[in-house]
A and B are shown apart, each in its own frame.
Chain A
Amino acid sequence: MPLTPERLQDAYRQMLVIRRFEETIRSLYQQGKIRGSFHPCVGQEATAVGGCWALRKDDYLTCTYRGHGQAIAKGLSVRAAMAEMLGKATGCSKGKGGSMHFTDPSVGLLGANAIVAGGVPHAAGAALASQLQKKDNVAIAYFGEGAVNQGVFLESLNLAVLWKLPLILVCENNLYSEMSPSHETTSVVETYKRAAGFGFESMRIDGNDIEAVYNAVEQAVARARAGGGPTYIEAMTYRLWGHMIGDPEIYRTKEEVAQARENEPIVRCGRRLLELGYTADDLARLDGEAESVIADALQFADSSPVPQPADAFTDVFI
């Protein structure tokens, strides 16, 4: 199904929901209402929405601690996500997972992961399950370019090609691995070339162009569903905020970030919608709708109960 102008408009609103979600979380975090760490995905909304909207609900997804956007784009309830951030019993993990572990298998989300590259083999395993059961579901794993030096990542690449798994790997290359520029930590920074070395169909795309992301993932999904094996997509993007709240960002200049803001996915998608005949009022209306989704989620989370201490002792085993 192509990304028609109408769906593009919906995708724009979805990106805004994710953006407003992260902005709200930052504000709550700064008010001390959120525990632990928060790794925002601001600036990377096109990879999340473009990729996840090319999937079916019963396709599998694993992502990372910077994966709020992907989780929401795949269908995780924004209410359940917000409640989880606030440690409420109504959160997607009942307050046991928090910011880095959004999970909802009912929409195919097998989990965000707080170990870099830790969730990549899980997507490969879900793809294997689909293949063994002769189903046509595919699996997609999101990770940053900081993951490509992890052993388990490289092991997963080998197995995915060897077993011709219905797997799509999406590398969100945002140029920084935690607080280090990736060219200082990685021998071949064009990560898609590494994947090609493993035998992957691989490519590098503009990850801030939601249509480019959608089209690339859609083709990869079609190929995987037809038994054609895995695809590696390196989507070039930019982390507009730091690695986490509190990151002093000494590794880059304010000018660099300002320049990146002109090329960020929501601004670009807005421009594209204007080209397609939508008006500035239309865009403002979509933003207002996104704001309403967040306001509703916040209201839900705020009014939800906290878990009981006894709940700490459930959900270890079935």
Chain B
Amino acid sequence: MPNITYAQALNEALREEMKVDPRVFLMGEDIGHHGGIFRVTKDLIDEFGAERVRDTPISESGFVGIGIGAAMAGLRPVVELLFMDFALVAADQIVNQAAKLRYMSGGTVSIPMVVRAQQGGGRGNGAQHSQSFETWFAQVPGLIVVAPSTPADAKGLLKSSIRAGNPVIFIEHKLLYNTKGDVPEGEYSIPIGKAEIKRDGRDITIVSYSRALLFALEAAETLAQRGIEAEVIDLRTIEPLDMDTILESVKGTGRLLVVHEAHSNCGLGAEIIARVYEQAPDRLIMPPRRLGAKHVPIPVAEALEDAVLPQPSDIVNIVEAMF
């Protein structure tokens, strides 16, 4: 299997979908000859032309809204936002429009649109370029939210997202683009709504996704050296949530930790823990834990940012305290 980066995997997914489906086109800032600031759309303009790889002005509401209209008129736009933080500039179009138009029309229109963006911190981009918004979007009925952590998942999930026929918020992470992984050759896709166990273990279930998933795997190695075998679940899709995989794992381990880079307050950790208690209260042998960013904006200096965002060592410390 070819070993390629997360950015290359996304690029392959876009290229393949554009080849097989003439309805697919791309919009975003600097995605044409520049190839996108993270190179995800590199060289696509040469193959598909400027009409289908469409540079936009810095005008997120406008071009997300245009994506919605084009989708209603039968195309399959994939809209790139430079940073997920800028989704708030287009919040009306995403939340009030894309998520609801199908429902409000009684199912007579559909919005087959993907909004891609990278999010998260870890490289000192500051409080307006480092946020994680998956929970915001997951709170809105009508949006699918995915957040792959590996190149193979990124490619397979982007293909599924483009084909979904519904609005999808496709969450990348700025520090995942250069990570490498094996990606299957040939046609494949990863189903939306299916988590994957990335590491087997019997002692505790760690649920995570996106870059924090890599931290969870790193922590699991450390824990293994100390005699604790963690099962690490990669959610891959945030909404709809694959509770079956989580419940099945917790049945075996009895312990649960949810780790995400998004702020802990009112976050996905709270949601998952609540659902586990609602759906299988007898499976936990001790109170579950969650780990997310502390409740301040994301600072720039490394020492400050590291203090705010979850680190692999934080995961190790929490898990050890659960034994």
Contact = CB atoms under 8 A, between A and B. Distances in A.
Contact of B62 (A106, A155, A318): A155
Given A93-B104, A94-B106, A159 B62 contact: yes
B297 interface: no
A121 B62 contact: yes
Interface in B31-77: 51-52, 56-57, 59, 61-75, 77
A260 interface: no
B105 A111 contact: yes
A124 B61 contact: no
B92 A315 contact: no
Contacts of A93: 104-106, 108
Interface stretch (A27-35, A127-135, A269-277): A127-135
Interface in B110-144: 110, 112, 141-142, 144
B103 interface: yes
Interface stretch (B93-101, B261-269, B310-318): B93-101
Sort chain B's interface into a size bin. Answer: 35 or more
Contact of B68 (A106, A115, A125, A132): A125
A132 B72 contact: no
Chain B CB within 10 A, most for which of A93, A95, A110, A132: A132
Interface string B15-41: 000000000010000000000000000
Contact of B65 (A121, A162, A316): A121
Given A105-B72, A121-B62, A122-B97, A97 B104 contact: yes
A110 B109 contact: yes
B227 interface: no
B61 A155 contact: yes
A122 B65 contact: yes
B56 to A, nearest CB: 8
B251 to A, nearest CB: 29
A62 B69 contact: yes
B70 A101 contact: no
Interface string A89-111: 00111111100010111100011
A65 to B, nearest CB: 12
A62 B68 CA distance: 12
B287 interface: no
Nearest to B102: A315
A177 to B, nearest CB: 18
Contact of A132 (B51, B56, B63): B51
Contacts of A120: 65
B74 A151 contact: no
Nearest to B99: A316
Contacts of A155: 57, 59, 61-63, 65
A17 B105 CA distance: 23
Contact of A125 (B52, B61, B71, B96): B71
A75 to B, nearest CB: 14
B249 interface: no
A41 interface: no
Contacts of B73: 60, 110, 125-126, 129-130, 139
Interface of A: 60, 62, 91-97, 101, 103-106, 110-111, 113, 115, 118, 120-130, 132-133, 139, 151-152, 155-156, 158-159, 162, 314-318
5 A-B pairs closest in CB distance = A125-B69, A121-B65, A155-B62, A315-B107, A129-B73
Given A125-B70, A127-B69, A156-B66, 10 more contacts: A110-B73, A110-B109, A120-B65, A121-B63, A121-B65, A126-B69, A128-B75, A133-B74, A155-B63, A317-B165
23 contacts: A92-B105, A94-B107, A97-B105, A101-B104, A105-B72, A110-B72, A110-B73, A118-B65, A121-B61, A125-B69, A125-B71, A125-B77, A126-B69, A126-B72, A129-B70, A132-B75, A152-B93, A158-B62, A315-B102, A315-B106, A317-B144, A317-B165, A318-B112
